[in-house]
Amino acid sequence: MENFDMSLVDWSRAQFALTAIYHWIFVPLTLGLSFIIAFMHTKYYKTKADKWKNTTKFWMKIFGINFAIGVATGIILEFEFGTNWSNYSWIVGDIFGAPLAIEGILAFFLESTFIAVMFFGWDRVSKKFHMLSSWFVAIGSNLSALWILVANAWMQNPVGMQFNPDTARNEMVDFWEILLSPTAIYKFLHTITNGYVVASLFVIGISAWFILKGRHLEFAKRSMQIAAIFGLVASLVLVYTGDGSAYCTAKDQPMKLAAMEGLYEGGNEQGLVTVALPTPCKKYGDDKNDYLFAVKIPYLLSYLATRNFDGYVPGVNNIIDGDKKHGIVSVEERMENGKIAINALKEYKTSEDKIVKDKALETFRENYKHFGYGFLPDKEAAIPNVPLTFYSFHIMVGLGFYFIMLFAVILFFSIKQTIDKKKIWLKIALWSIPLGFIASELGWVVAEVGRQPWTIQDILPTMASTSHLSVSSVQTTFWLFTVLFTVLLIAEIKIMIHQIKLGPKEERS
């Protein structure tokens, strides 16, 4: 559509992606490390042993550095909503208002209050209350993540709302439907368990470094064992929640699932791609094969997407062209219906005649589910970046299974008390720290790139969500953020490395 400046849209997207990616470096570590600290603190409470106190204090310090540097980086995303994405913010305003308000209250009362008790409370509050404070910090930070993830899930699967054409806002009609939608539940569980895996890899990696250096051996083994147990359990739950998320995606965002699998020609009895090389420059409707080579597990994609080994899974071509037999309306038809909805909305807003208005409103409501398609310039615009989504998804899944293996091996050698002799595994553990962050970021790439061209699935395309700003102002803030966040990240890494090198205070020689 000619009234959308695609350069502005691209820069606004780049800016949002940049800030979200940086923000997400800090968050998963906070989510997971808070629980690992709570476990260690509980050990100290139960055993009264100083070794557990020292262990808890050390990781608390690392948690504090990450929390202090990362805190409020997410607020920048809210600035961007108001400035760069004003159409979107206005349209979703009523849906986001309640969850984000609850997030603010929970974050403020639980995290802020109990973090102070957690850090200042040694020997100054009762041991039980102090230990419970660590748990409240963990629960509080995870609960505050719930609300922003519920809001994100609503964009992927907009339920429990109704669009009010008088105010141009989606109004909440069922809070519980939004909160308890399967998309929201699986997104929340998948995201927080991902944080637990990232934090477990981090603790194991740092502990491995201490063992390799021959320093603080008992402290490192203790930390490693707790993290390996937590990481193994979390990574298994991650598989379960990932399966739930994919099932929801198959139902509500079939195009995203097709992109995740690089599947252009769908059908029944589809196999799941384990390793593949998608055909470069493959386009909708061409006669090239989907993959140059592919190793598939027969029937598994059909089963995961439909819970039926014979189930039908549409590919990109099927979704674009439509398939009446399977109830898929073609994108061209949806674009026509979307234009009807847009024109009906315009007529409703401009007409003075009540009969015309009522008729326009009825037409608008009938076609609202196609509304967003009316903005698409052509049917190919409904396809996300398939190679990026495919590779992000498969690397993330591959790393996920690698983490399960790593946690199991580390736990096995920890229990056998031979971990300090396994230099190769210790080195692998150390170098696996960044892999956790990479897998975590790739998960968001799958979620957010895979759902393009939508900010609200089928209702509002990204191109219609932006504010009418100058491209240069968005470019300026893009580079400002690049500098600000890079400085923060360097500060975090430097301070953390310094503290890690110092080691746990009481055991310092």
Among 17, 18, 21, 71, binds another protein (CB under 8 A): 71
Contact range with another protein by CB under 8 A, out of 42-50, 150-158, 391-399, 465-473: 465-473
In the complex, minimum distance from the CB of residue 63 to another protein, in angstroms, rounded to a whole number: 11
- The amino acid that residue 37 corresponds to is I
| Contact flag: residue 124 with another protein (CB under 8 A) | yes
Relative to beta strand 291-297, strand 460-461 is unpaired
Euclidean distance between CA atoms 429 and 66, whole angstroms:
20
Size of residue set near another protein by CB under 8 A: 52
Show the tokens assigned to 362.
């009825």
In the complex, minimum distance from the CB of residue 340 to another protein, in angstroms, rounded to a whole number: 12
DSSP E strands: which ranges in 352-504? 454-456, 460-461
Q: Rank residues 137 and 189 by Cβ distance to another protein and give the closer one.
A: 137
CA neighbor of 20 nearest in space, from 146, 115, 149: 149
| Contact flag: residue 345 with another protein (CB under 8 A) | yes
> Do the beta carbons of residue 458 and residue 159 sit within 8 Å?
no
In the complex, minimum distance from the CB of residue 2 to another protein, in angstroms, rounded to a whole number: 7
Contact range with another protein by CB under 8 A, out of 40-48, 95-103, 259-267, 345-353: 345-353
> Do the beta carbons of residue 57 and residue 484 sit within 8 Å?
no
Contact range with another protein by CB under 8 A, out of 52-60, 70-78, 99-107, 207-215: 70-78
CA neighbor of 104 nearest in space, from 66, 63, 70, 75: 75
In the complex, minimum distance from the CB of residue 4 to another protein, in angstroms, rounded to a whole number: 9
Q: Rank residues 72 and 281 by Cβ distance to another protein and give the closer one.
A: 72
Phi, psi of 278 (to 5 degrees): -65, 150
Contact range with another protein by CB under 8 A, out of 29-37, 228-236, 298-306, 343-351: 343-351
Torsion angle, CA of 478/483/488/489, rounded to 10 degrees? 90
- The amino acid that residue 488 corresponds to is L
> What's the DSSP call for residue 418?
-
Show the tokens assigned to 336.
């026509």
Among 268, 306, 351, 499, binds another protein (CB under 8 A): 499
Among 46, 307, 326, 468, binds another protein (CB under 8 A): 468
Euclidean distance between CA atoms 86 and 437, whole angstroms:
31
> Do the beta carbons of residue 285 and residue 317 sit within 8 Å?
yes
Q: Rank residues 346 and 423 by Cβ distance to another protein and give the closer one.
A: 346
In the complex, minimum distance from the CB of residue 79 to another protein, in angstroms, rounded to a whole number: 4
| Contact flag: residue 495 with another protein (CB under 8 A) | yes
Euclidean distance between CA atoms 306 and 254, whole angstroms:
11
Euclidean distance between CA atoms 288 and 282, whole angstroms:
7
Among 2, 287, 352, 378, binds another protein (CB under 8 A): 2
- Which residues from 128-187 bind another protein, rule CB under 8 A? 165-169
| Contact flag: residue 65 with another protein (CB under 8 A) | yes
Cis amide linkage into residue 453, ω under 30° from 0: yes
In the complex, minimum distance from the CB of residue 402 to another protein, in angstroms, rounded to a whole number: 34
- Residue 466 burial (CB count, 10 A): 24
> 3-state SS of 326-361?
HCECCHHHHHHHHHHHHHHHHHHHHCCCHHHHHHHH
- Residue 413 burial (CB count, 10 A): 20
Euclidean distance between CA atoms 49 and 218, whole angstroms:
13
Contact range with another protein by CB under 8 A, out of 73-81, 98-106, 263-271, 326-334: 73-81
| Contact flag: residue 351 with another protein (CB under 8 A) | no
Half-sphere exposure of 33 (CA within 13 A, CB side): 24
- The amino acid that residue 440 corresponds to is S
Among 82, 97, 104, 434, binds another protein (CB under 8 A): 82
Q: Rank residues 223 and 467 by Cβ distance to another protein and give the closer one.
A: 467
Contact range with another protein by CB under 8 A, out of 40-48, 80-88, 99-107, 135-143: 80-88
In the complex, minimum distance from the CB of residue 68 to another protein, in angstroms, rounded to a whole number: 4
| Contact flag: residue 101 with another protein (CB under 8 A) | no
Q: Rank residues 36 and 69 by Cβ distance to another protein and give the closer one.
A: 69
Binding site for another protein (CB under 8 A): 1-3, 61, 64-65, 68-69, 71-72, 75-76, 79-80, 82-84, 86-87, 89-91, 116-117, 119-120, 124-125, 165-169, 342-343, 345-346, 349, 375, 464, 467-469, 473, 476-477, 480, 484, 488, 491, 495, 499
